[in-house]
């Protein structure tokens, strides 16, 4: 995070049977991190082996509920989307700063229609479906393949 950044930013961490969402209010050089809130959501077992659409729709819905608690006065200005950092702790081939193709699931997940797909694209489809104006600004994969 740049020290000069100001505003409200979001993060999503999908790494197992739970995922976390985080909102941080940055105040620039002078104030640093003003506040942060987070929530942890359990993923129902049936979504870990169902469809890509089912999983990402569930995640998008939980993210939308979290965004609803955004403090008044912190909504982005017209024409600007909320920005999301997406930590995805499964093997992906990173294709750009904000895209990556799932190589395989681990940690009890087995959703065949996601393998070979861009996980940011899958999440984006679900965000658009519910009208949540948010874009993934960066994808971070914390899984190394040996």
Assigned domain for 146 exists: no
| Domain-embedded: residue 21 | yes
Q: How much of the chain, in percent, has pLDDT values that exceed 70?
A: 94
Burial of 126 per CB tally in 10 Å (0-12, 13-18, 19+): buried
Does residue 36 register a pLDDT over 60?
yes
Segment among 34-43, 85-94, 123-132 with least mean pLDDT: 34-43
Mean pLDDT over 61-88 rounds to: 86
Q: What is the pLDDT of residues 80-124, one digit of tens each?
A: 789 999 999 999 999 999 999 999 999 999 999 999 999 999 999
Is 127 inside any structural domain? yes
Quick check: is 132 in a domain? yes
Instruction: Name the residue range of residue 22's domain.
Output: 6-141
Percent of the chain beyond pLDDT 90? Answer: 71
**pLDDT above 90: residue 71:** no
Q: Which DSSP letter does residue 118 get? A: B
**To the nearest whole number, what is the mean pLDDT of the chain?**
90
- The three-state secondary structure class of 76 is coil
| Domain total of the chain | 1
Whether 60 is in a domain gets the answer yes
Say which CATH number the domain at 24 has: 3.30.420.40
Q: DSSP 3-state assignment of 28?
A: helix
The confidence score (pLDDT) of residue 5 equals 76
Of 114, 101, 110, the residue nearest 145 (C-alpha):
101
Residue 32, domain member (yes or no): yes
Beta strands in 28-108 (DSSP E): 33-42, 82-88, 92-96, 99-102
> Could you tell me the pLDDT band of residue 1, with boundaries at 50, 70 and 90?
very low
Structural domain includes residue 1: no
Which band of pLDDT confidence, cut at 50, 70 and 90, is reported for residue 3?
low
């Amino acid at each position: 995070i740049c020290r000069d950044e100001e505003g409200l930013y979001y993060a999503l961490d999908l790494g197992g049977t739970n995922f976390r969402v985080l909102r941080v209010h940055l105040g620039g050089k002078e104030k640093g991190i003003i506040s942060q809130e987070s929530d942890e959501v359990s993923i129902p077992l049936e979504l870990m082996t169902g469809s890509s659409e089912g999983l990402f729709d569930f995640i998008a819905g939980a993210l939308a509920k979290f965004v609803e608690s955004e403090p008044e006065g912190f909504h982005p200005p017209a024409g600007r989307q909320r920005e999301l950092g997406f930590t995805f702790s499964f093997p992906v081939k990173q294709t750009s700063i904000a895209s990556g193709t799932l190589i395989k699931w681990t940690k009890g997940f087995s959703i065949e229609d996601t393998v070979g797909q861009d996980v940011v694209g899958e999440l984006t489809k679900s965000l658009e479906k519910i009208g949540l104006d948010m874009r993934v600004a960066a994808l971070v994969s914390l899984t190394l393949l040996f």
